[in-house]
Amino acid sequence: MNLDDLALQIQLMRKRVALLQRQSEQQKAQEDIEVITDVFKELYLALEEMQIVNEDLQQQNEELFNAQQSLIAQGQRYQELFEEVPDAYLVTDPRGVIQEANSAAQNMLNISKNFLLGKALGIFVLEKELIAFHLKLTHLSDRAETPDWKMQEWEVNLRPRNKTPIIAAMKVAAIRNQQGNLVGLRWLVRDISESKRLQAKLQWAEEAMRQALAKEREFSELKSRLLTTASHEFRNPLTTIHSSAELLEHYRHLWSDERQQIHLRRIQTSVMHITQLLNDLLVLNQDETGKLEFNPTPLNLVEFCRDLLEELEQSDRSQHAIVFSSECQCPSANLDAKLLRQILTNLFSNCLKYSPIGSTVKFSVTTANERAIFQTQDSGIGIPPADIEHIFEPFHRASNTGNIPGMGLGMSIVKQGVDLHGGEIIVESAIDAGTTFTVILPFSRDLHI
């Protein structure tokens, strides 16, 4: 029984007591005892009913008290969970205005709860992402109206008050009323800046490892090619030296001076060839190990080129017509003599190697605009177009070289020397018409081509 029923019962009892009172006033004295008896009966019944009502009220009060205590306990548990969540937890209206925030959210955004409540979450988003954030929030609210809408996740850059920006991972869920209408949003926000940094470092380490493995495979392949090519290239001149020396040992007393000189020249040529191979390998090794240095000194370009040509002409034994020309407004330049010798020796040796005997090979040196320009030109076999882009790679040889000896290191060494000078090299070639190499080196490595 509720309070309304109790009030109704009391009112009915009052009416019955009033009725009995009127009846007692109208009846005679002898009838008073009977009336009083009836009154007591009515009062007794009323007390019984009031007792029942009282017990009902006590039970209802006890149930109400227990329900209130349960609600208080649930509220406390909710608040404890709300505060103990390690991630930032926020409750906003559908527009993103903050209505509740736990301690983790206050710490993350570096702002107290009093200043945080009532603020739009968007004010903590980096300016460059703000438009995208609002568009996403609008789209989120629109979609949240549909019954099948699920929790959404995305990442955004936040700027806490007076702190550096962070990368935050957000999970957003809808809050609905009993009618199923959207009334708010729940946000779980986690700072993933450190994990992103670790992920980036891990990716960098993986990439570095992949590059190292690729470099190791490349080095292994290079080593294999080196051993194969070197063993072949060294075998030929060594065989020549051995056979000529053996012939001289056994037959020189029977030969004329001219015939002896032929074998001596073969030995000298083979020795020079081996020396050049060793020099090329040394330069390649220095470049691979990072020990190839650039040491510029003042050089007289014309004298340097003439001395170098004299050495090369002796090894060629007048098999080609060599034409040298120079036009130097500034004959002195600050270049690395050792690297320049490697560059020009390899270029000129290729001209002699791939040109027909008796053909003309041209070599020139000029200066202009604080730059030295060296050019070699032959009328040899030329370089196929498909090979030109690869000629500066170690051990690469053009497809039309056939049985002409070579390790495929010369042009790689030329490119290394040119790069260390801060210069450039230009190739012009046509099959069976010859090749022209132009090397441009600045007097100072600080100058740009």
**Alpha-carbon gap, residue 13 to 191, rounded angstroms:** 71
Element (H, E) at 429: strand 424-430
- The partner residues of 373 in beta bridges, in order of sequence, read 366, 440
DSSP string, 194-242: HHHHHHHHHHHHHHHHHHHHHHHHHHHHHHHHHHHHHHHHHHHHHHHHH
**Alpha-carbon gap, residue 398 to 379, rounded angstroms:** 16
Superfamily of domain 86-194: PAS domain (3.30.450.20)
Q: What is the CATH number of domain 292-442?
A: 3.30.565.10
Domain segments of the chain: what residues?
39-82, 86-194, 197-286, 292-442
Q: What is the CATH number of domain 197-286?
A: 1.10.287.130
**Alpha-carbon gap, residue 421 to 449, rounded angstroms:** 11
Q: What is the pLDDT along the chain (449 residues), one digit of tens a residue?
A: 555 666 676 667 667 766 766 665 565 545 566 666 776 677 667 767 777 776 777 787 777 877 776 666 565 555 555 566 678 889 999 899 999 888 888 889 999 988 899 999 999 999 999 999 999 888 877 776 676 677 788 899 999 999 999 999 999 988 888 887 888 898 999 999 998 999 889 899 888 889 888 888 877 776 676 666 666 667 777 888 888 888 888 888 888 888 888 888 788 777 877 777 777 777 666 666 556 778 899 999 999 999 888 888 877 677 888 899 988 777 678 899 888 988 998 898 888 888 888 899 999 999 988 899 999 999 889 999 988 888 888 777 788 887 777 667 788 889 988 999 999 999 999 998 999 999 999 987 654 44
